[in-house]
Amino acid sequence: MEELSGPRPAKNGKVPVSGAGPTEPVGVWTRATDVCYRVLVARARDLTLSTGGRSALVLAPHPDDETFGCAATILRKRAAGAQVSIFVVSDGGAFNVEEMSRDELVAAREDNVREATRRLGVPSDDLHLLGYPDLKLRELVDSMTSRFAAIFKELDPDEIYIPSSIDFHPDHVAVHTASLRAVERSVSHASLYTYPVWFWSRKSWSVSGESTLRRKLLLSRVFVAAIRGLRPVKVRTEGHLETKRELMDIYGLELEPDYDFFEKWHLRDEELFFATSTHTRGRT
């Protein structure tokens, strides 16, 4: 997750990691995304019963994305005894929090992700903080590709979870791109799933500006085509939803204006993913 501009400072000392993100107006977009979500869930292959016993590797661009995208799935796997490794790619230091130095911010965010990981039931040895510079990942795709390929080869997980590329945050897209290349390079046989973070935000769709009818029509066509091309899968959050809510609160999300967005899209009856492969390099 993580926004590109700074949030208000948290009043309780927690690090706010959301921020001045897109406030979703009630309107056509909201209604369209509601319908699309229902369509995707209805179409989705249900992995709830099969995923628990399968080992997984989760790549999070920032300290928090692992929770928003995959918390209930990780909890389910850990309850079944499966190994889960979490790799947090960036140091989270680009977030603008008043009265905190960059070093203090990085340290605080590290504390948060360690706490979240502990409560996810993932051993501390299976949390890896790669320390790449926040907001610079687009310039480091080659480096990340090599690093990820070595990781995939060494751990050889059953499943790999990466952020969706349908996301306005450049770090998320960069991690997605590097991950696909790394899977190909490492000849990994893992099932590859993308998880949405800002997917449902209008800002994540490439047609900018909505002042003309033509742009609106183009946006509609891009959106519908993308939704139709996705291969959704789902894992039910039943039994883990309250824990996920508590984990989200570790990141100070409740204090931020984006809370409604994340509550709406990331605290649902299921976690939604999109199956992908290096042979079908569509935006997922």
Residue nearer to Zn ion on the CB measure, 163 or 231: 163
- 256 binding Zn ion? (CB under 5 A): no
Query: For 181, phi and psi rounded to 5 degrees?
Result: -65, -40
Residues between 65 and 104 that touch Zn ion (CB under 5 A): 65
Least Å distance between CB 241 and Zn ion?
21
Residue nearer to Zn ion on the CB measure, 2 or 271: 2
- 3 binding Zn ion? (CB under 5 A): no
Least Å distance between CB 250 and Zn ion?
15
Residue nearer to Zn ion on the CB measure, 173 or 241: 173
For the chain, the 3-state helix, strand and coil shares in percent, each to the nearest 5, are 45, 15, 40
- 135 binding Zn ion? (CB under 5 A): no
Does residue 90 sit in helix, strand or coil? Answer: strand
- 2 binding Zn ion? (CB under 5 A): yes
Indicate the residue whose CB is closest to Zn ion: 62
- 1 binding Zn ion? (CB under 5 A): yes
Rounded to the nearest 10 degrees, what angle do helices 241-250 and 259-266 cross at? 150
Dist CA 146 CA 241 (whole Å): 35
150-153 long-range contacts, Cβ below 8 Å, gap at least 24? 150/186, 151/57, 151/87, 151/182, 152/57, 152/182, 152/183, 152/186, 152/188, 152/190, 153/186, 153/188
Query: For 176, phi and psi rounded to 5 degrees?
Result: -60, -50
Least Å distance between CB 249 and Zn ion?
17
- 270 binding Zn ion? (CB under 5 A): no
* Choice from 7, 33, 59, 62 touching Zn ion (CB under 5 A): 62
Residue nearer to Zn ion on the CB measure, 7 or 219: 7
- 24 binding Zn ion? (CB under 5 A): no
Dist CA 193 CA 249 (whole Å): 25
Q: What is the DSSP letter of 53?
A: T
Q: Which stretch binds Zn ion (CB under 5 A): 57-65, 93-101, 120-128, 145-153?
A: 57-65
Q: Which stretch binds Zn ion (CB under 5 A): 53-61, 74-82, 137-145, 201-209?
A: 53-61
Residue nearer to Zn ion on the CB measure, 111 or 184: 111
Beta bridge partners of 232: 274
Q: Which stretch binds Zn ion (CB under 5 A): 2-10, 137-145, 184-192, 204-212?
A: 2-10
For the four alpha carbons of 35, 276, 136 and 131, in that order, the dihedral sign comes to: positive
* Choice from 16, 19, 61, 93 touching Zn ion (CB under 5 A): 61
Q: Which stretch binds Zn ion (CB under 5 A): 29-37, 56-64, 130-138, 256-264?
A: 56-64
Dist CA 96 CA 102 (whole Å): 9
Dist CA 151 CA 117 (whole Å): 19
Report the interface residues with Zn ion, using CB under 5 A: 1-2, 61-62, 65
